[in-house]
Amino acid sequence: MDWLLTAPRHLFFTGKGGVGKTSLACASALKLADAGRRVLLVSTDPASNLDEMLGVALGRQARAVPGASGLWALNINPEAAAEQYRLRVLDQVQDPAQQAQVREQLSGACTTEIAAFDEFVDLLTGGARDFDHVVFDTAPTGHTLRLLSLPQAWAGFLAQHADGASCLGPHSGLKMQEARFRAALAALSDAGLTTLVLVTRADPAALREAERSHHELRALGLLQQRLVVNGLFQAQDRQDAVACAWQSAGEAALASLPPGLASLPCDTVPLRALDLVGLPALRALLAEAAPTSAPTPEALAPVRTEDWPPLSHLVEQLAQQSHGLILVMGKGGVGKTTLAAALALGLVERGHAVHLSTTDPAAHLSDTLAGAQPQGLRVDRIDPKAETEAYIQKVLASKGRGRSPAELALMEEDLRSPCTEEVAVFHSFSRAVAEARQAFVVLDTAPTGHTLLLMDATGAYHRQMAAELGDSRFVTPLMRLQDPAHTQVILVSLAETTPVSEAAALQQDLRRAGIEPWAWVLNRTLLGSGTQDPLLRQRQQQETRQLARVADGLATRRALVPWQAQAPVGLEGLRRVLGA
């Protein structure tokens, strides 16, 4: 990746969850800093793990990274940004009665998202003047596409709607920021200022998502793109069946590179044996790789089946109920969609009717099922655009009754603001939560940060209902999520340091909301595969440490899903994921 040394000011690393965006963003920022540049590394992911990777506690203010002269880093904190945003808007409102109304307007989850976006805009439009480069480590694709589309969406919305109010407060206050939104859009669209790095793996699902992102970014006018294929594996032992299968799968995926990606400049980064935490490992990521030596056999502790049963063991326990909500959660790229589909199939094959859906903006359920849909399984997705349109029409029909055409037109204009989507998705999610009172509903959730925003909306709605109804009896979606007889949360991780740390942090966030996770699943483990390839054996050694970490205090109910030589798609592939 020598092009980094002639890179423009802004670098965005984006892609499907789990492809290594954060690792490559950190390694690239380090390479630029080591070359004498002043670099600011920024995470726009609500579930950022920059702190752990760089070994330094980060906040909203840029902090120098010890051991990396010239490198500073920060996390955009959505909650803190939201409060600062509220204060700025309220400063523009003089009437105390109107202030209370505006604060109520600014209490939703969409305000949290737009406030984080506001800090992002500041970094693009002059808030990082002291730096030669700003490197953005973004959230997984669906969330990032929304973030990058917001400058265009808000600039257009404000140009068309000069009066009234939105869920972000009075338009008069927002109009003051219109110039900043337009400047952000100009910076993103300027090939001399910004390059978008699409990070992928040599994996069909990751490549399909990168191809979709490529076209959606082009539609936004963001044309300066590069492709980086991360984690490319080369077998050292040509007699090792697992290693050869891994290499062959990667070669086959790259041989059928989608046409949009084939047109982009491309770099490859080899798979590393190192767990990419800490500056030495991050520097090594973009350096020449040295041959890997295998660990001694005694370094790999055996995995006891009774401690780590197959996924089918969890299905057997779930199937003892007649209904329930199963939420599959975790960091992007850990295999949530595959495991959600496998759990749904397991329940269907035990005689239950199941509704399988997803809250992920980059949904892949249809790809995972490969078109198959056994009797008893209903599959769909929470489509943000369709949900938004349905929500707008419902509000117009209910709250618009009896209003004049002019009043209806103004109401619809307000509902067309970009953040209405968050409210609409929450309402759809709430319907799925309620449906689980009569049947099984398996929800494949968006990557951690986006899911936490949805949980935040659920909590905000609960607080609103409690304030309005007082001692009256009511049941909110949050109360159903907190009920272990109604909801089982399954946390999915890889047996690697960062995904386990993020799942542990998510577990703590859920517990603070009164939601107790039901089980953990460690997915795609090499342990027990029989491989003798030195690099894969090194990775197995790291996996044993993470299994011990999860078993020692993080999860009492758990399952293990081994790495599959064949892609786990279609009914047979999903049955292999379930195990014996």
One digit per residue, pLDDT tens: the chain, 580 residues?
A: 889 989 999 999 988 777 888 899 999 999 999 999 999 999 877 667 888 889 898 888 899 999 999 999 998 876 676 777 677 667 766 677 666 666 665 655 556 656 667 777 788 887 788 899 999 987 654 555 555 565 555 555 555 555 544 444 444 445 556 677 777 778 888 889 999 999 999 988 889 889 988 998 888 788 899 999 999 999 988 889 899 999 999 999 999 999 999 999 999 999 988 778 889 999 999 987 655 665 555 555 566 667 899 999 999 999 999 999 999 988 877 889 999 999 999 999 999 999 998 877 666 677 788 888 889 999 988 877 787 888 888 888 888 888 888 777 777 766 766 567 767 777 787 888 889 999 999 988 875 555 555 666 666 655 665 666 666 665 677 788 888 999 999 999 999 888 898 899 889 888 888 889 999 999 999 987 888 898 998 888 889 989 999 999 899 999 999 988 788 889 999 999 999 6
Respond yes or no: is residue 20 known to be catalytic.
yes
Contact yes or no for 488/318 (Cβ under 8 A): yes
Contact yes or no for 365/444 (Cβ under 8 A): yes
Respond yes or no: is residue 358 known to be catalytic.
no
Query: How many residues does the structure list for the chain?
Result: 580
Contact yes or no for 116/81 (Cβ under 8 A): yes
Q: Where are the beta strands (DSSP E) in 219-274?
A: 225-232, 266-270
Respond yes or no: is residue 21 known to be catalytic.
yes
Residue 553 per-residue DSSP state = I
Catalytic, out of 14, 23, 112, 544: 23
Token pair belonging to 506: 């998510």
Question: How big is the chain by its Cα radius of gyration, in Å?
Answer: 24
Catalytic, out of 138, 498, 525, 544: 498
pLDDT recorded at residue 113? 59
Catalytic, out of 14, 17, 22, 149: 22
Contact yes or no for 216/208 (Cβ under 8 A): no
pLDDT recorded at residue 172? 45
Distance CA 187, CA 313 (A): 52
pLDDT recorded at residue 366? 79
Contact yes or no for 139/449 (Cβ under 8 A): yes
Token pair belonging to 167: 């869920």
Show Cβ contacts of residue 114 under 8 Å, excluding neighbours closer than 6 positions: 85, 150, 154, 168, 418, 419
Catalytic, out of 15, 16, 17, 18: 18
Distance CA 321, CA 3 (A): 56
Respond yes or no: is residue 498 known to be catalytic.
yes
Show Cβ contacts of residue 107 under 8 Å, excluding neighbours closer than 6 positions: 460, 464
Distance CA 327, CA 434 (A): 13
Distance CA 138, CA 147 (A): 9
Token pair belonging to 291: 């041959």
Q: At what angle do helices 405-415 and 384-399 cross, to 10 degrees?
A: 150
What's the 3-state SS for 102-140?
A: HHHHCCCHHHHHHHHHHHHHHHHCCCCCCCCEEEEECCC
Domains (range + CATH), the chain: 2-291 (3.40.50.300), 311-386+434-578 (3.40.50.300)
Q: Parallel, antiparallel, or unpaired for β 519-525 and 487-494?
A: parallel
Respond yes or no: is residue 312 known to be catalytic.
no
Catalytic, out of 15, 17, 21, 312: 21
Half-sphere exposure of 107 (CA within 13 A, CB side): 14
Catalytic, out of 20, 324, 335, 459: 20
Q: Where are the alpha helices (DSSP H) in 307-417?
A: 311-318, 336-348, 365-369, 384-399, 405-415
Respond yes or no: is residue 18 known to be catalytic.
yes
Q: Where are the alpha helices (DSSP H) in 470-549?
A: 477-482, 497-512, 534-549
Q: What is the mean pLDDT of the chain?
A: 81
Contact yes or no for 389/426 (Cβ under 8 A): no
Respond yes or no: is residue 172 known to be catalytic.
no
Distance CA 415, CA 396 (A): 9
Show Cβ contacts of residue 408 under 8 Å, excluding neighbours closer than 6 positions: 396, 400
Catalytic, out of 14, 16, 43, 45: 45
Contact yes or no for 89/106 (Cβ under 8 A): yes
Helix (H, G, I), strand (E, B) or coil at 225: strand
